[in-house]
Structure 1
């Protein structure tokens, strides 16, 4: 009985000598369990890597297909754009040629119009010149016009001077006038005479400058000229006391003209 029992039960050494795959899972050792787990894990990792690689290859393929499609579309777009550019360049060349032809024709027409207008203007000018020359030859010669002299009336050129308007007549003094009144009358008479002489000299044709009108020598100083001008302007002022008695007469008008003439000569000298 001992022999069959011994034959039916294997020893531990015999069990260890058998391969792990041939033994049942419940008879595996811990080391064999760990080894088998590592193998399974490595197989899972390899399968996952293989799957990821396949997915990556698929994505690469899709990206390549997309890139190829984009390149194809870009090439088609470039071809279409080049075709449009060529057509536009051809149309622009045709349009420019047409524009240049029209511009040239317009320039020719403008030049012809200008030449025609210039010829017409020259012909009209010639006709007007001939007409004017014919009238000028047939017209009597023109006499030179004399420049108007605003003081001609007071220079004795018109013959209208009236000696009766002179204010150098003696003043009538009442009987029994005092010496002071006589002296004042003589002083007024002297100022009136000086005024009339100055007015004749200022309005004379020979009085072209201020020095001529003042009757001073060329060696007179500025102070002498200024004092003489002031004295004569005071004597010739229309509202001066000795001039009020003759207001409204030709003598007063002549004195006023001399006053304006002296002012004008002084202004001309100052400028």
Structure 2
């Protein structure tokens, strides 16, 4: 944490030596205008957090469904996972977002349209579920086969073996990695501002139009995301220690 503060302080001090006419009062919480600007900027905080949480939850569910064909004995079924993962890992998030928000409605002649929040969630779910499915796969493969065989020897159906034995252990193994993917989703959510979602990035862009202070506003935006990521990373490290992930 101290390193980030020192880096930000160094940037601030070095910037003061330039020819730019700084107006740090625009993000000073003790200045009337700065206080109003900060209140406006923080108005997008809940949107950023909410879309990240919803996307992570749905991506985890879809990722689980996508990884199941991996364990089929039929090659044709396994290929479903391969095709899905390769496609959505290859497409850039921004390109996929624009295609879903602008492209799909034109295909259906305006009969299908999404608001920015829904389009953003769909984009992040498709993109992230491809990565999360691989996390599930590695977690499931890490479970000792002896435990699965022992459960089967008790007469449990394959579905019950998966739900009662395999999945609970896999979730414990992959939870830290899943949370790290959640941090990545938090970062990627800033891209959704390009289609009008009122998140932190969108609020910053709107404020810059009225204040003409891009450096100050974007510096505050950097600080917002930095604090969010540091807090999230702190909890991920706590999870790693709890689950004894080395």
Q: TM-score, normalised by structure 2?
A: 0.24
- Greater C-alpha radius of gyration: 1
Q: Normalising to structure 1: TM-score of the pair?
A: 0.22
Work out which structure has the larger RCO, using CA pairs closer than 8 Å and 6 or more positions apart in sequence. Answer: 2
